[in-house]
Amino acid sequence: MTILNIAAYRFVSLTGLPALQSVICKALEGSAIKGTVLLAEEGINLFLAGEAGEVNAFMAWLRDDSRFAGLAVKESWSDTQPFKKQLVKIKPEIIRMNHPAIQPASGRAPAVDAITLKRWLDQGHDDHGQAVVTLDTRNAFEADCGTFAGAIDWRIDKFTEFPDAFKNHQEALQGKTVVSFCTGGIRCEKAAILMREAGLTDVFQLDGGILNYFEQIGQAHYTGGCFVFDDRRVVDAALAPRPELVGAIEA
């Protein structure tokens, strides 16, 4: 496998978005890197793929900006380029929730790392003896490709439906330790902040999402693969493309 695929996001207050868009386009100009960089006042979200040297050089350039110095990247490899275009876009949100009160840049919800989540799931409770539930914040078709065993799945069709779904199910989460999860961390971070602001106290986000869990832990407590929004369609716990697993959602 010769193509490096990266996913990264960071909630950070950004201004001067058109100028930033122009600078990033200039930095990517002439490279064979493809994928999408999303910019919003709340931060940056990117999915890129290309030759490792070019991708790493771009990320080193991006991290020279202090706003992106802490940008953590999830990496995987493929034999072919999974993206068709190179895009840098300005959006109202880097992940659309239609809930303007949520400002992740003002402070993250507490996160649980992959190793701790596995230990909690192994023992059936958190370190205080409270029952642990995992909450899938992704779209229903993504969950159909694979999810944590016993995960709560509200069968939402798009992330903008999450706030209403939470209101309808909030009572059932009381008295439990809730770990929200998603592909790479961005949706479950917003979801965890919303739930905490609504008064649910024992809520954590899975740090780095499913992709980081795969990288750190592997398949334990997880069934199937993880849907990704590029030509690979689904990756397995080894982060290898498994497009045949899409059959679970297309059957």
- From the list 83, 116, 82, 113, the residue with the least C-alpha distance to 240 is 82
**CA 136 to CA 155: how far, in whole Å?**
9
Amino acid at 14: L
- Answer for the pair 180, 203: CB distance below 8 angstroms, yes or no: yes
Supply the DSSP symbol for 108. P
Which entry of 145, 182, 188, 226 is annotated as an active-site residue?
Answer: 182
Amino acid at 186: I
**3-state DSSP assignment of residue 26:** helix
Angle at 171 between CA 166 and CA 175, to 5 degrees: 115
Angle at 81 between CA 80 and CA 84, to 5 degrees: 140
- For 12, phi then psi, to 5°, come to -155, 140
Contacts 24+ apart (CB under 8 A), 241-244: 241/78, 241/79
> Does 145 participate in catalysis according to the annotation?
no
The residues assigned a catalytic role are 182
